[in-house]
Structure 1
Amino acid sequence: MTHEPHGFRLAYGTNGLTDLRLDDALALLADLGYRGVALTLDHMHLDPLAPDLARRTAAVAARIDQLGLAVAVETGARYVLDPRRKHGPSLLDPDPDARARRIGMLTDAVTVAADLGATALHCFSGHQPAGTPEETAWSRLADSFTPLVNAATAAGVPLAVEPEPGHLLADLAGFHRLRRLLGSPEALRLTLDIGHCRCLEPGPVPDCVTAAGPWLAHVQIEDMRRGVHEHLPFGAGEIDFPPVLAALATTGYAGLLSVELPRHSHAGPQLAAESHAFLTAALADARASRPSEVPR
């Protein structure tokens, strides 16, 4: 899959298009002008637990190549492993067999990402279990990540962990803590969610983007309000986007900039169209204010 030589590609997450068949979702995004897709492995979209995963992955690879889309693979499906526990079991589960199920799924996802020619494989830590001391949780997370980093290194796929509000690894400081625990492996990279920067990072959002720049492998984007972890359509939150996009361009990031609206599938096609128009206009505003820094 070819990438932009000097800038990021606009993409949309399939977790915001769960009412559409995957092929229909991919065709929609290409028709709207998106250059990429963030594919969440879930029961309705390239189920990672169903039979013939390699064959089904090959069919998706052929389709995204036909449509000219770059792809990142995301693993944040709510109930793909456990129909009763959101995001369970996690990499922090006290039960080692339960943790092994998550590690196994993520290891399979590394293979899927490699077979798709993905820009990155996204993942996150999970919540600190009740009764588990913080130091124990961080040690357990590092142990769980070790085989994943090894698999990603062997496959040549960036493993892009996302700081998630409410999780053990919740912010950029947590990302760097995990990096240090693992010895700063090259394969361990960062998924940055722009809304999360507004939600809980201490500084302005453009400063957060700049600080994250050296480790970026995947970027998600939506609107959000301070202190409230709710993914909002553009214009419904508090973020001023042109300075954020200018900061992202300045980092040299060349992966996907993927709209992340997982609770809006009921209006997915409409929001995908509106989001593309909004980001295109915001990029034009960013170029007008900082023409030497924002790619065309």
Structure 2
Amino acid sequence: MSPGFRLAYGTNGLTDLRLDDALALLADLGYRGVALTLDHMHLDPLAPDLARRTEAVAARLDRLGLAVAVETGARYVLDPRRKHSPSLLDPDPEARGRRIAMLTDAVRVAADLGATALHCFSGHRPEETPEEVAWSRLADSFAPLLDAASGAGVPLAVEPEPGHLLGDLAGFHRLRRRLDSPEALRLTLDIGHCRCLEPAPVADCVTEAGPWLAHVQIEDMRRGVHEHLPFGTGEIDFPPVLAALAGTGYTGLVSVELPRHSHAGPQLAAESIQFLEAALTDTRMSSRSEVP
């Protein structure tokens, strides 16, 4: 079995490196893609000359042979004091508009880079905001983003994030149904999150998510604890998960997500691809042994 997906690494785990150096590192290690988080140190979406800087990154990716997905989970890119604020759920329409504007710019960046997907998430439900009001606000916020993504031909891949309004696979389907299942609305699946909080086994979550996948993040994790861990330090058995992912026919990026480990980014990037390639080998051997 040769999976169609490509191994990648997230730049949010390489924030101590310049972007050019991070991309060169990943290519040298054998990664075939990168999940690029737009942040002040890596293709700042709020700094001047975004189009020109995006063009330079596109050329760099092309020279290195790296595919790219664009991620928008930077902690303090819009507000230096409040993590992930403002969000698509902010009670202040003007504040929500700032997030929508940044994500709309990110759609253009993704299109100019030829990205496989644009990642985003809902944000936390604000205090004293009723749940139904929050879901309505989220759907309204997604409408212009879906228009932009459809026009640019970029899948808008929302991530269920523990603790957020849209926090699990059921939440993704709730939003999808509320928006009448638009083609541009796709799913970012974080493998560790499945172990953290989904009731089904991780491999079953992958199979269930298959029809909507546009981006995949991967790391180890433990049940009930939202902490992104290096491979082999959590509870996930990866060969069955990778086999399930290959079985969906997914052809996008599978990106290592270790945002709290930048201090050891180069070492962990090297160890991670070695781990995943070994797990893929185990997956192939298991597949062959099952053939009568």
TM-score tier by shorter-chain length is over 0.9
- Relative to structure 1, the CA distance from residue 189 to residue 292 in structure 2 (aligned partners, 3 Å threshold; closer, same or farther) is farther
From 245, 250, 261, give the equivalent of 1:248: 245
Displacement of 1:291: 3.6
Cα deviation 1:239-274 (Å, max 9, x = unaligned):
000000000000000000000000000000000000
Partner AA of 1:111 in structure 2: R
Q: What is the alpha-carbon distance in structure 1 between the residues aligned to residue 4 and residue 223 of structure 2?
A: 28
Corresponding residue for 1:118?
115
From 55, 59, 75, give the equivalent of 1:58: 55
From 163, 166, 169, give the equivalent of 2:166: 169
Partner AA of 1:110 in structure 2: V
Corresponding residue for 2:21?
24
From 265, 280, 283, give the equivalent of 1:283: 280
SS at 1:166 equivalent: coil
- TM-score after normalising by structure 2: 0.98
- Say how many residue pairs are matched: 289
Does 2:148 match 1:151? yes
Q: What is the alpha-carbon distance in structure 1 between the residues aligned to residue 130 and residue 282 of structure 2?
A: 47
Any stretches of 5+ residues in structure 1 without a counterpart?
A: none
Cα deviation 1:65-104 (Å, max 9, x = unaligned):
0000000000000000000000000000000000000000
- Alignment RMSD (CA, Å): 1.1
Does 2:9 match 1:12? yes
From 224, 234, 239, give the equivalent of 2:236: 239
Partner AA of 2:183 in structure 1: E
Q: What is the alpha-carbon distance in structure 2 between the residues aligned to residue 291 and residue 91 of structure 1?
A: 47
**Structure 1 runs (4+) greater than 4 angstroms displaced:** none
Partner AA of 1:267 in structure 2: A
Any stretches of 5+ residues in structure 2 without a counterpart?
A: none
Corresponding residue for 1:37?
34
Q: What is the alpha-carbon distance in structure 2 between the residues aligned to residue 104 and residue 291 of structure 1?
A: 49
SS at 1:12 equivalent: strand
Corresponding residue for 1:131?
128
SS at 1:57 equivalent: helix
From 206, 220, 223, give the equivalent of 2:220: 223
Displacement of 1:277: 0.2
Displacement of 1:290: 1.4
From 206, 211, 215, give the equivalent of 1:209: 206
SS at 1:248 equivalent: helix
SS at 1:220 equivalent: strand
Corresponding residue for 1:185?
182
Identity across matched positions, percent: 87
SS at 1:125 equivalent: coil
Q: What is the alpha-carbon distance in structure 1 between the residues aligned to residue 270 and residue 288 of structure 2?
A: 26
SS at 1:229 equivalent: strand
Corresponding residue for 2:263?
266
- Relative to structure 1, the CA distance from residue 270 to residue 200 in structure 2 (aligned partners, 3 Å threshold; closer, same or farther) is same
- TM-score after normalising by structure 1: 0.97
Displacement of 1:6: 5.7
Partner AA of 2:166 in structure 1: L
- 1:67-146 correspondence to structure 2 within 5 Å: 67-146=64-143
Q: What is the alpha-carbon distance in structure 1 between the residues aligned to residue 267 and residue 198 of structure 2?
A: 30
From 188, 192, 195, give the equivalent of 2:192: 195
SS at 2:27 equivalent: helix
SS at 1:249 equivalent: helix
